[in-house]
């Protein structure tokens, strides 16, 4: 047997045994850098809101359970997430409507885009929702929504379903009286809602304005607050980091990249984000996403407020999060400074 023949014979026998030699395609197993499957993508409000409103006319909240349109990354098959880890979904709850309670192992949060006066009920505690608010719904917390106001409510749900799917640890449950309770599930008493997990727009805006008044905006991100639990100074959810950003009028951000793919939601204002040749001109209600490790920069033609979520919270725990500003050094979380 020549060496070549012996090698091929080894590879064939390994393949038949569902094994691969690591040395044949090492980079297939250990890439040098991220090679995201997702693409930069944009869901303009001019398209998404009319679709959601049409759903409001012809699909009842009872029928849909959640009247939600999911932002699927165009590079992924249907029913896929927005990034490789997170979902951004846009939900409409009309006056008088309810979304029945349930709970699941996915972590979620809501960012209110339009309306005020509905409640999301987290573990029996009603949380009154207003435009600009962020409400955290941690894994396995009961949650439902009730709109007793006269206002149409539109909000963005952020969820980490794709992380749970990666772990194959997805669980979902309806309350006992609906008859679809799982076998008895015993877990930590998950009662009460932590008021610190309701980030009210009024408070966020005050903090952003203080930051704006106190001096230089961040070169890449303008004035920006990470929405942290003040008791622990950490992200309320284990996987999702959330930020609110205020870009002053005329802001031209430095180029930036990080190992977390980011979903942005435009709360107000207009501007442009450029990501490696892709140009996204955005305005109020738009959603867009930036893949992992792609260089991007923001410009604001008017003062603008952006809400964003990413899997940075999980990446920091896994010690893989890194960032780079302009052509500066790459900073690795937990290893630099």
Binding site for ligand GTQ (CB under 6 A): 66, 68, 89, 91, 99, 143, 157, 159
Query: Closest approach of Cβ 310 to ligand GTQ, in Å?
Result: 17
CA 242 to the chain's CA centroid: 8
CB of 154 to ligand GTQ, least distance (A): 12
Task: Using the minimum distance from each CB to ligand GTQ, give the nearer residue, 66 or 224.
Answer: 66
What is d(CA 92, CA 178) in angstroms, rounded to the nearest whole number? 23
The secondary structure of the chain in percent helix, strand, coil, rounded to multiples of 5, reads 20, 35, 45
Residue (98 or 224) nearer to ligand GTQ, CB: 98
Nearest C-alpha neighbor of 285 from the set 131, 87, 113, 91: 113
Residues constituting the chain: 337
Which residue lies nearer to ligand GTQ by CB, 52 or 275?
A: 52
Complex with ligand GTQ: residue 90 or 247, whichever CB lies closer: 90
Closest approach of ligand GTQ to the CB of residue 300, in Å:
28
List the beta bridge partners of residue 43.
287
Q: Map 43-88 to HEC letters.
A: ECHHHHHHHHHHHHHHCCHHHHCCCEEECCCCCCCCCCCCCCCCEE
| Residue 116 vs 157, nearer CB to ligand GTQ | 157
How many Å apart are CA 303 and CA 246, to the nearest integer? 7
Report the residue number, 99 or 163, with the smaller CB distance to ligand GTQ: 99
CB distance 198 to 138 below 8 Å: no
* Cβ at position 191, least distance to ligand GTQ in Å: 18
Least Å from the CB of residue 138 to ligand GTQ:
12
Single out the residue of 33, 113, 98 nearest to residue 64, CA to CA. Answer: 98
Q: How far is the CB of 71 from ligand GTQ (least distance, A)?
A: 10
Nearer to ligand GTQ, 106 or 245 (CB): 106
* Strand, helix or coil for residue 300: strand
Token pair for 167: 């772990």
Q: Least distance to ligand GTQ from the beta carbon of 322, Å?
A: 30
Query: Least distance from C-beta 325 to ligand GTQ, angstroms?
Result: 33
| Contacts with 162 (C-beta within 8 Å, 6 or more apart), sequence order | 81, 83, 84, 85, 86, 87
Tokens of 254: 């430095």
Residue nearer to ligand GTQ on the CB measure, 101 or 269: 101
Strand-pairing partners, residue 222, are 218
Measured CA to CA, the distance from residue 112 to residue 119 in angstroms comes to: 11
């Amino acid at each position: 047997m020549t060496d070549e023949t012996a090698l091929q014979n080894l590879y064939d026998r390994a393949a038949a045994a569902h094994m691969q030699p690591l040395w044949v395609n090492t980079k297939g197993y250990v890439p040098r850098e991220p090679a995201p499957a997702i693409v930069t993508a944009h869901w303009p409000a001019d398209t998404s809101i009319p679709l959601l409103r049409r759903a409001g006319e012809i699909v009842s909240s009872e029928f849909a359970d959640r009247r939600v349109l999911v932002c699927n990354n165009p590079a992924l098959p249907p029913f896929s997430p927005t990034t490789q880890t997170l979902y951004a979904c846009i939900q409409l709850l009309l006056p008088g409507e309810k979304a029945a309670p349930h709970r699941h192992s996915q972590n979620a949060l809501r960012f209110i885009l339009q309306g005020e006066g509905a409640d999301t009920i987290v573990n029996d505690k009603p949380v009154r929702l207003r435009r600009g608010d962020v409400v955290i719904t941690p894994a396995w917390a009961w949650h439902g929504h009730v709109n007793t106001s006269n206002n149409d409510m539109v909000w963005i749900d952020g969820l980490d379903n794709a992380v749970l799917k990666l772990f194959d640890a997805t669980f979902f449950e309806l309350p006992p009286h609906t008859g679809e309770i799982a076998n008895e599930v015993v877990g930590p008493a998950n009662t009460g809602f932590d008021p610190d997990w309701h980030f009210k727009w009024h408070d966020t805006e005050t903090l952003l304005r203080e930051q704006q008044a106190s001096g230089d905006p961040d070169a890449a991100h303008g004035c920006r607050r990470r929405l942290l639990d003040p008791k622990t100074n950490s992200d309320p959810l284990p996987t999702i980091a959330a930020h609110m950003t205020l870009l002053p009028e005329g802001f031209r951000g430095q180029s930036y990249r990080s190992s977390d793919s980011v979903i942005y939601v435009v709360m107000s204002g207009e501007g442009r984000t450029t990501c490696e040749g892709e140009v996204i001109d955005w305005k109020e209600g738009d959603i867009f996403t930036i893949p992992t490790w792609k260089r991007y920069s923001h410009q604001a033609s008017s003062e603008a407020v952006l809400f964003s979520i990413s899997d940075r919270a999980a990446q920091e725990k896994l010690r893989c999060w890194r960032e780079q500003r302009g052509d500066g050094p790459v900073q690795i979380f937990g290893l630099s400074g």
